[in-house]
Structures are given as C-alpha cells and as structure tokens.
Structure 1
Amino acid sequence: MSTDATLAKSTPAPSITRAAAGSLITAVRAAAAEHGLEVAVAVTDVGGHLKAFERTDAAPFLSVDVAIDKAWTAASFRIPTHVWNDYVAIPQFAPLAHHPHLMAVGGGYPITENGNCIGGLGISGGTAEQDREVAAAALTALGFDLPD
C-alpha cells in the first residue's frame, strides 16, 4: 500500500512553446510557398488545444477546421493522420471515423522532440500528399522528429 509521500500524483507533460509554434508556422508558410499552396496551419499543444494558427488569404475556408482537426488527431494519437485511412477500414476501429474531430487525411503530424510528443501540426489547403510534404518539410527544417 502506498502512502501520499510515495504515491505519484502527476507526470510531467512537455508541451510546445509559443515561440516554437510560431517558428513552425513560419516554416510551413515557406514550404507552402515553394509548392505554390495557400494553406491553413494549426499547431496544438500536447493536449490538443490550439496553440497557434494562421490561414493565408486565399486558403479555402474549410481548410481552417480541417487543419485544426489534423493537428488534434496527430497530437491525441501521436501518429500522422495519413495512417488513419488504413485504421478506419478495420472494423474494430471503424467507429472512430465518426468522431467529430478525427481527421483521417494526410497533413497532420505529431510534433515530437526527443521521443516525446509535445503537440500536433495540421496543414490543409493542398492535396493530402501536398499537405504531408509541407508539414514534413517544416518539421524537418526545425529539427523535430518525423514519424512515418
């Protein structure tokens, strides 16, 4: 039996800083411009709460919610959003496809530093592959881990 003195009551939860979130948005803007894309970009903290957001002038308005949901999905499950297409085809996981924020479309990545998820990144405005490429370029440019 544990006593209050030895019972752990919390765990440390590293989370992305505002400065790093802003730098990611800058890196995404640069990568999107190289691809000729107008995008929305969302950065969440490790709990899936919006930390930073930007939408270029000509990005479709639907891209706002899609980018936020991609970042939320990536942070909450700590896997890229493009893998969800395969997951929701599995009958045991299929009901998750109906979750209002789950986004099974490429362009969302967990933001990982030294093996720890510290947030989520979501890009929307191009094709799923273009969004993935922009997200990967931005994460790589800032030295974050890039999961498969």
Structure 2
Amino acid sequence: MSVTPAAPLTIEDAERLVATARRTAEDAGVTVSITVLDAGGHLLAFRRDDRAVLISGETSTRKAYTALQLDTATADLVEAVQPGGLFHTLPTALDKPLLFIAGGLPVHRGGRLIGAIGVGGGMPEQDHGFATAAVQALV
C-alpha cells in the first residue's frame, strides 16, 4: 500500500495565507506581521504592516517556527511551559527560537505537516484568530 505524498506548501499558498491573515487583521483594526514557513522551516512569505510594532516581525516568525517544530498551535502550548507544565524547561533547554504565545499554527495538507504560519502584533487571542482564519481559507 503506497501513501500519496501531500503537495508541499507553495508560494501561492503562502501568499494566500498572508493575504487572508492580513485582511482579517485589518477588518479587526489590528496591524500585524505574518510569517509563513515551509515544512523545512524555510521562509516562504513575510509581511509587516507599516504601523505594526517592530518586534511583531520577530514574534510572528518565532510563533511559526514553534508551531512547525511541535506540530501544534502555540495557543495550545502556553500552559505546558508554565512552572510544573510538561514543557516547562523546553524554552531554555534548547537553543532554538521558540515562542509559546498564541498566534502560531501548523499547516497540514492530506494529513501531513507542510508548513506553519505565525501572526504577531495583536493580542495573543487575536493573532491566533487571524492565523486560524488564514489556515481555514487555505483548505
């Protein structure tokens, strides 16, 4: 029995993710940065609104990276890194750009991980919502 590989995340997919997240954030009156990574963690697309806080570029990238590496929404990991949590020491144990704040989501196709999106600049719950809207529009 052979398994058909999932099509990789394309630049067109990445641009659609960015456009949807941006439009959703604009509709909410929030300026954001958006990062899309492929399955290997390579940058496919990045956009920072002119008025978005500068650090949002870094946070969006780290959120995408974290979601990709752990194949989990960053919103679902916030509690796990608190004292006593399953991953409490993970942020300091690895020399990786992990960020456990809502706004990062893995992107799947055909049940396979093909990339991730990270949104930064709004409140964590807002960033999560903008990323979720983008992923839902892709499938």
Which interval holds the TM-score relative to the shorter structure?
0.7 to 0.9
Tell me the SS of whatever aligns to 2:13. Answer: helix
How do 1:63-74 residues align onto structure 2 when only pairs under 5 Å count? 63-74=56-67
Structure whose CA Rg is larger: 1
- CA–CA distance in structure 2, aligned partners of residues 92 and 79 of structure 1: 14
State the match for 1:6 in structure 2: none
- Asked if 1:51 is matched to 2:37, the reply is no
Could you tell me which amino acid in structure 2 is paired with residue 127 of structure 1? Answer: M
Could you tell me which amino acid in structure 2 is paired with residue 88 of structure 1? Answer: V
The unaligned stretches of length 5 or more in structure 2 are: none
- Asked if 1:142 is matched to 2:138, the reply is yes
CA-based RMSD of the aligned residues comes to 1.6
Identity %: 36
The unaligned stretches of length 5 or more in structure 1 are: 1-11, 144-148
Give the CA deviation at 1:113. Answer: 1.2
Residues 106, 92 of structure 1: alpha-carbon distance in 2 compared, 3 angstrom cutoff: closer
2:21–2:131 contact (8 Å) kept in structure 1: yes
Could you tell me which amino acid in structure 2 is paired with residue 95 of structure 1? Answer: T
Residues 125, 91 of structure 1: alpha-carbon distance in 2 compared, 3 angstrom cutoff: closer
State the match for 2:113 in structure 1: 117
1:14–1:116 contact (8 Å) kept in structure 2: no
Tell me the SS of whatever aligns to 2:59. Answer: helix
Moved more, 53-62 or 79-88: 79-88
Normalization by structure 2: what TM-score? Answer: 0.88
- CA–CA distance in structure 2, aligned partners of residues 142 and 48 of structure 1: 19
Normalization by structure 1: what TM-score? Answer: 0.83
Larger RCO (CA within 8 A; separation ≥ 6): 2
- CA–CA distance in structure 1, aligned partners of residues 85 and 63 of structure 2: 22
- CA–CA distance in structure 2, aligned partners of residues 134 and 91 of structure 1: 27
Residues 68, 29 of structure 1: alpha-carbon distance in 2 compared, 3 angstrom cutoff: same
- CA–CA distance in structure 2, aligned partners of residues 92 and 27 of structure 1: 33
State the match for 2:90 in structure 1: 96
